[in-house]
Amino acid sequence: MKPLKHSPSLSTALYVAAATAVLVLLVNNCSASYQNAEEYDVCMVGGGAGGIGAGYALKDSGLKVCIIEREACLGGTHVNGRILELLPGSVPPFFDDLYARNNALFTFHNGATIDNMYYVSHEKGVSGSRQTMRVDRQAISKVYYEELSPAIDIKLRRLLTSAVVRKGVCKAIVVRNLLTDSEETIRAKVFIDCSGGELAKMTNGQEGTGYYWGSDGRDRFGETFYPDGTLPDRYDINFLEMTLRVRHDVNVPEDLSNVVIPQGVTATSSHGWTDNSDENCDIRLTSYHCNLSKQKFIDEGYDASYREALVNSLACWKLTKETYGQNTYSYDKPAPMLSIREGVRIICDDMLTQEDCTREVTMDDIADLASLRYIALSSWYIDIHGEQHAYAASIPTKNRGITYDMLIPRNNSNVLVGCRAFGCSHVAHAANRLTRTMLSLGNACGYAAEYFIAHGLSDVRDVDIDFVQDSVDMKGQIEKCVALY
């Protein structure tokens, strides 16, 4: 096992005691239904960008694979959160192939082409003049389903509720079937957390659970991004954002007189953009104004956030209409997922930091790939949408490598993190959270899982890094990027 680059802040003894208590609790809670579990080789929890990437890696493997997804469709944040655009960054070959088969679903902006989407300069990223790619979200979600479902069991409307963990091995997970309101248990040899950290929170123990965004001070990873003396601040996270949809339809009468405006809710920002899935609709974006305290988001998570967003989006719309006089539109619906950039991240064998983001990957690295252990590249700039945003512009970042070890929760042997909860500092996450990067992390996890099963391994750390790097064409990705830089 590769040594930890950064030592933990909790003492090991405290950690082990806490983790053991959590594990015992989970085992006790789940033992009754554990015996009747469905059996899989690989189980992905979450069908967002990471889950899609993992799915494409595994769909031709011949393994028995499933995806657990709480929503009613695949895609996660980039589909359901109505993310405006796919921002530039390197991707493994599967995404270019997916594009080639479905190019009518994508439109390019600012001189973007499928090839230069591998590149973003720091300056262009900061100034907002970078290349972007939009995608018809509903249509791509359908494509994901059609291409993955013949080989993978896609279990929609299933909510992960607990995990059975013994000695660092995730034996099974328990999910609630939201359609039948019943419980199902799923066993797998390998689990890939593509849910934004929900699974690894349960399997990796107490420290992973408490390791929230913003809980780094300047000293934790020695990052100069933070001003001198900055202490950990769990609530110093990116803004909460929500999106709502409005129609260009003046004929639908809207009676907003009874809509109550909760304290703190204000009008949405006035800019909108066309919803690719329905040209009669615009998307409106609001930051802050959904009246969710950061504490509430952190403590109660998705469900509370979503419930409040449903109420607040209508109130936002009422205020937007009044503020900007938008009488040629009527309210349609809120985004089915509230868009929140941040949640938990998981302590992994290696942690990506600000320093890693400033080390540029070059052609020389190709000769040394195995020891560098890169499985993905990424090139966004440090993009914190919070109080510290101003610092982002002054720290040039490079096309950098993300290592396999950043996907391995420190206390598990059969769990990988293939999503935005991978091992990274808060600052590094702000530069690496893009959809294309999460597609890449999931894809690498999928290939690692395939190797793990094929070779009867008991620890994901023993996966042959050459196999993963070849599978995601790490060399080809570096060559493409270097040619553009």
Judged by CB under 6 A, the number of residues near ligand FAD is 36
Least distance from ligand FAD to the Cβ atom of residue 8, Å: 23
Residue list 219-248, contact with ligand FAD (CB under 6 A): 241
- Identify the residue whose tokens are 């040209």: 279
- Cβ nearer to ligand FAD, comparing 192 with 369: 192
- What distance in Å separates the CA atoms of residue 200 and residue 407, rounded to the nearest whole number? 11
Cα 286–Cα 291–Cα 294 angle in degrees, nearest 5: 100
User: Quick check: 160 binds ligand FAD (CB under 6 A)?
Assistant: yes
Separation in Å, CA 79 to CA 72, 135, 161, 330: 11, 9, 23, 22
User: Quick check: 435 binds ligand FAD (CB under 6 A)?
Assistant: yes
User: Quick check: 289 binds ligand FAD (CB under 6 A)?
Assistant: no
- What distance in Å separates the CA atoms of residue 145 and residue 157, rounded to the nearest whole number? 14
- Cβ nearer to ligand FAD, comparing 346 with 474: 346
User: Quick check: 140 binds ligand FAD (CB under 6 A)?
Assistant: no
User: Quick check: 401 binds ligand FAD (CB under 6 A)?
Assistant: no
Binding mask 65-84 for ligand FAD (x = CB under 6 A): ---xxxx----xxx--x-xx
Shortest-Cβ-distance residue relative to ligand FAD: 48
- Cβ nearer to ligand FAD, comparing 53 with 205: 53
Q: Which tokens in the block code for residue 184? A: 């199902």
Q: Beta strand pairing status for 106-109 and 65-69?
A: unpaired
Least distance from ligand FAD to the Cβ atom of residue 244, Å: 13
User: Quick check: 352 binds ligand FAD (CB under 6 A)?
Assistant: no
Nearest to 421 by CA among 446, 397, 401, 441: 441
Length of the chain: 485
Compute the CA torsion angle 134, 139, 142, 146 (nearest 10 deg).
-90
- What distance in Å separates the CA atoms of residue 131 and residue 113, rounded to the nearest whole number? 8
User: Quick check: 200 binds ligand FAD (CB under 6 A)?
Assistant: no
User: Quick check: 198 binds ligand FAD (CB under 6 A)?
Assistant: yes
Q: Beta strand pairing status for 272-275 and 65-69?
A: unpaired
- Cβ nearer to ligand FAD, comparing 197 with 457: 197
List residues near ligand FAD by CB under 6 A: 45-50, 68-71, 76-78, 81, 83-87, 159-160, 194-196, 198, 241, 339-341, 419-420, 433-436, 438
